Amino acid sequence: MNKLKLSALLLGGALSLNAQTDTTCTMVRETDILEFNYYTDKVINQHIFEDSLDIYVEANEVLCLHLYTKKRKKLKVVTIHDGHTHEDFLQSKDNVYYTSGPLHVIVFKK
């Protein structure tokens, strides 16, 4: 049931892509995190993936979250929207998820 809720939230975000003005891409790998331009694939920022990653998606933004650990593993992802918290474990071998803001996303390493 939790996966259904998260899928509905992510699908709703994907359906509203046309109304959004900015797309942020974040790739979470086994040891590091890459932030890059969705349209040009240019890396904007790279840092070490320690314990968790906080991503704040504004009302006019879309998040493209690429979980790319190259291993069959699930990462704990918590989303907070309008004061409601949702927790799920998402596949991270090479999976891409989209959502729109306003939203707070937390990805945990373990």
36-88 pLDDT per residue, tens:
888 888 899 999 999 999 999 999 899 999 999 998 889 999 999 999 999 99
Q: What's residue 3's pLDDT?
A: 57
Q: What's residue 20's pLDDT?
A: 46
Element (H, E) at 75: strand 74-81
**Domain 2-108 fold:** Immunoglobulin-like (2.60.40)
Q: What's residue 2's pLDDT?
A: 55
Question: Would the pLDDT of 89 be above 70?
Answer: yes
Residue 51: Cβ-neighbour burial (10 angstroms; 0-12, 13-18, 19+)? exposed
Q: What's residue 31's pLDDT?
A: 93
Q: Are strands 32-37 and 22-29 parallel, antiparallel or unpaired?
A: antiparallel
Contact 88, 74 (CB under 8 A): no
Question: Which residue, 74, 84, 65, is CA-closest to 25?
Answer: 65
Q: What's residue 81's pLDDT?
A: 93
Question: Would the pLDDT of 19 be above 70?
Answer: no
Amino acid making up residue 91: Q
> Whole-model pTM?
0.76
Q: What's residue 22's pLDDT?
A: 82
Q: What percent of the chain clears pLDDT 90, i.e. is strictly above it?
A: 64
Question: Which residue, 28, 70, 36, is CA-closest to 52?
Answer: 28
